[in-house]
Amino acid sequence: MLILDFVERRVVSGLSLRSAADTAVICARPKNAQLKMQSRCGIARVWNLTCFMRLTISILLLIFVVSASGASEFDAKTADRFARLALECVHKEYPNKISHVLNSDADVAPPRKLTPAFCGCYDWHSSVHGHWLLVRLMRTFPDAPFAKSAREALIKSLTAENLKQEAAYLRGEGRASFERPYGLAWLLQLCAELREWDHEQGREMLANLKPLEDAAVERLTKWLPKLSHPVRIGEHDQTAFGLGLMLDYARGKGDEPFTKLVSDCTRKFFLADKNCPLSYEPSGEDFLSPCLAEADVMRRVITQKEFATWLKDFLPQIPMSASANWLRPVVSPDPSDPKLAHLDGLNLSRAWMLEGIVSALPPDDLRRDALTAAADAHRRSGLAAVTGAHYEGGHWLGSFAVYLTTQRGIQK
């Protein structure tokens, strides 16, 4: 293995900066010492110009990551970078991966005709949470340079006419499972964000969204009682993550029947679970952790004392010491691949789920340090991957980064 590849993977995956530095030092040792360590490093040519250049790059990378890891504050400059990712895609119609049931030739149409409000960002759900990102950041940084462009983009998309067409599309024949639950749950988060935005334009957009919001709640209300078992995967169909978004929406709106339905389903599905096989994760295309998502939604429906006890049975492998090694960040083998890029998002979602779990534990719980250490490692790795270099990840990773850094899922 080339030394740069080894160091880069160790650093970007947020494991151990010391381990990466030690590996780089091996390359700088005298030749006779290096020869003894060839088997450990896997380096055929231990000292030449290539090694020196790679060593230099590795050290610079280490310096950059150490510096970046200390800058945990979420500021307007960082928000601008994430906002630009959404602004570049919310009205970018192609490429587009539609999930569309054709009932006749009349249903053949481009995305802008089928779903005119959410026709960008590669797919419907990414467009929805791209719009959510813009509202979230405008509320957080109302005077930032990107705010004007964000507001204009939202006004262009969230018109009454566009959203009536969206509602009609959702209610169309053969579309009972359209974006269920992932996209619909993100739609409810968009509604929640607008409902909390004390601004005339926000209220107007929310009013425009009402036909689609009502259709989504109706669809989920009919579906949840019929769902006999939770879907325990690491992608869009996962039940636990969707329930968490739905529950936060329902409580924020004060919708007691929907709150009760979602809470009851969560308890029915997960309350008796024990010994979640965290070591089986991740699957190669995960962007959500089945185990952590379950814990993150359960913290929302039981008391602190009950949750602390439940978590002990559900994830007994959480250490009692401040170690991040029990759950290590992952590295996408190809960020330009639409599915393999999911692993970059997994680091971000793991980070916010770990932080959510910590928020629900008693202050003296001995597991808090290990959970926090793992969350920090995943946060660093996840945020470092939000570059926009590849549209396959750039069209959606910004939303995950904003959900994490603004702590959207943690009640204040």
The Cα–Cα gap between 316 and 367 comes to 10
What's the rounded mean pLDDT across residues 351-370? 98
Name the pLDDT band for 73 (thresholds 50, 70, 90): low
Contact 66, 20 (CB under 8 A): no
What's the rounded mean pLDDT across residues 170-177? 95
Q: Which tokens go with 74?
A: 């979420």
Contact 224, 261 (CB under 8 A): yes
Average pLDDT, the chain: 87
Name the pLDDT band for 242 (thresholds 50, 70, 90): very high
Quote the pLDDT of residue 411. Answer: 75
pLDDT tens, 175-231? 999 999 999 999 999 999 999 999 999 999 999 999 999 999 999 999 999 999 999
Supply the pTM of this predicted model.
0.84
Contact 246, 187 (CB under 8 A): no
Torsion angle, alpha carbons of 350, 352, 358, 360, to 10 = -120
What angle (nearest 5°) sits at the alpha carbon of residue 245, between those of residues 241 and 250? 140
The Cα–Cα gap between 241 and 349 comes to 10
Q: Which of 380, 331, 382, 285 has its CA nearest to residue 6?
A: 331
Quote the pLDDT of residue 53. Answer: 53
The Cα–Cα gap between 158 and 33 comes to 65
Q: Which tokens go with 103?
A: 């009932």
123-145: burial string, b at 16+ Cβ within 10 Å, e else: bbbbbbbbbbbbbbbbbebeebe
Quote the pLDDT of residue 412. Answer: 62
Contact 216, 166 (CB under 8 A): no
CA atoms within 13 A on the CB side of 35: 3
The Cα–Cα gap between 91 and 85 comes to 12
